[in-house]
Structure 1
């Protein structure tokens, strides 16, 4: 698992443009919307929404792109000839994904806490945030394995991931408060994993501890997507 994690980390660091936008694009949202609509209370909701979307997007895109690229380069075919199970390979990649999520959280919260934006985090419930990020990353990591199964080439990964994540961001309350949404949208949001990640992150930033239900839902999604992804995993383009 250590070798898999190291290989994944090196590949991520070499793709500097993708790594830059993984941090810069969500941070731009925080800065722009924070300057326009920030302040106590509102900034907590904004930061939570951007953070959970960024973490989910990075987890899904990262593993999906790597799987498709490794499949294209026939690296997965070589891995299959070794005793290394696919779960060990993916576990190593997941460790790096969690590290990336924590780094995103540190950066986004650090900026949001500046006086110009007005984020306030005074509750000890913030200690639950790493756990929330670990579970949320697992869910979207599992979704990324499914995206990799559907993507015919690396260029298609971004298109498929964006078609999933951008609508979900609006429909789950990350960018638009569900309190202002019609009842049908609130009901539909309950079937979206990003809704539960959003709920859990907001709880930890706003002083709440009620994360058991959202984390349980995220784990349920992770088990479902992970089981399908492993069952249908594609080792080679010809498979």
Structure 2
């Protein structure tokens, strides 16, 4: 037990003295959190720019609440030159140009931005249907009540934080295990440990304890920063269930670090191998961007990655060596 604690303490002190490791495991991921959390803080739907040409009574005669709802999805500007308005649509400066001739609305749009064009067309068609219903003098027979199923406090920071925290844990566990293994082998520390009473499980266990401790510190720092009023992270329901997931993730990514450290002959080579594996995984896992938009064949391949911890851990044990050869 004494040797185990001594090894864990030595690893922890070495980590604290390594400024590069501190930067890449703590500060570097926090930069991503601040950037993404600040840029997408509002979480609102991007407004589509619309140009009204001349007088458009259907829009101008909307009640106050109707104008308020319209302003939530459209950014409206006005002009009297229809050619200039259409030119804006063609250049992408506006999603659509709308003009009214009598009882007919004409919507000029570009299919280059199908999403924005579809939004504008849907809004205009809804306005026309509402106007037709009001002109008929009949009360509406059906109505819609929309209710959000998620917590109404849901903001972009709610899903940016766990994603980037996962990336930070991956970096810490992977590079920490790889760098320690390579450095100790280069300095003949592993060779000396074989001649000491220290058992192999104590060495591995000390590395696991340090990696898990660093991961928990990362979690505390990330939650503390993201919970600031500027970002507005709200912890709700069974948020503490993230702790077992963090422990499992740390062990899984340690297997990558052990593989890189077992194969590499220098710290630089170990870092390159770890980067080659972890960076693609960060993007394929949805840490930065939703994976729902990825092609179907990529989403299918992602399931294979679930077994990487066991496979890479076995390979690392097979390739492990106490000394350089």
1:183 aligns with 2:296: yes
Contact 2:40 2:156 in 1 (8 A): yes
In the superposition, the TM-score normalised over structure 2's length comes to 0.62
Matches within 5 A, 1:1-239: 1-38=4-41, 39=43, 40-123=154-237, 125-193=238-306, 221-238=308-325
Structure having the higher Rg: 2
Structure having the larger proportion of residues in helix: 1
- Count residues with an aligned counterpart: 211
Q: How far does the alpha carbon of each residue in 1:38-81 deviate from its partner, in whole angstroms, 9 at most, with x for none?
A: 35342121111100011011101001101000100111111122
The one of the two structures with greater contact order (alpha-carbon pairs below 8 A, sep at least 6) is 1
Contact 2:24 2:171 in 1 (8 A): no
Taking a change above 3 Å as real, the CA distance of residues 42 and 34 of structure 1, as seen in their structure-2 partners, is same
Q: How far does the alpha carbon of each residue in 1:177-222 deviate from its partner, in whole angstroms, 9 at most, with x for none?
A: 01111111111222225xxxxxxxxxxxxxxxxxxxxxxxxxx543
What is the deviation of 1:155?
1.7
Distance in 2 between residues matched to 1:231 and 1:190, nearest whole Å = 25
Distance in 2 between residues matched to 1:135 and 1:144, nearest whole Å = 15
RMSD: 1.5
Contact 2:284 2:302 in 1 (8 A): yes
Taking a change above 3 Å as real, the CA distance of residues 84 and 4 of structure 1, as seen in their structure-2 partners, is same
Where does structure 1 lack aligned partners over 5 or more consecutive residues?
Answer: 194-219
Contact 1:172 1:192 in 2 (8 A): no
Where does structure 2 lack aligned partners over 5 or more consecutive residues?
Answer: 44-153
Contact 2:263 2:319 in 1 (8 A): no
Distance in 2 between residues matched to 1:144 and 1:229, nearest whole Å = 9
What is the deviation of 1:21?
3.0
Contact 2:263 2:320 in 1 (8 A): no
In the superposition, the TM-score normalised over structure 1's length comes to 0.83
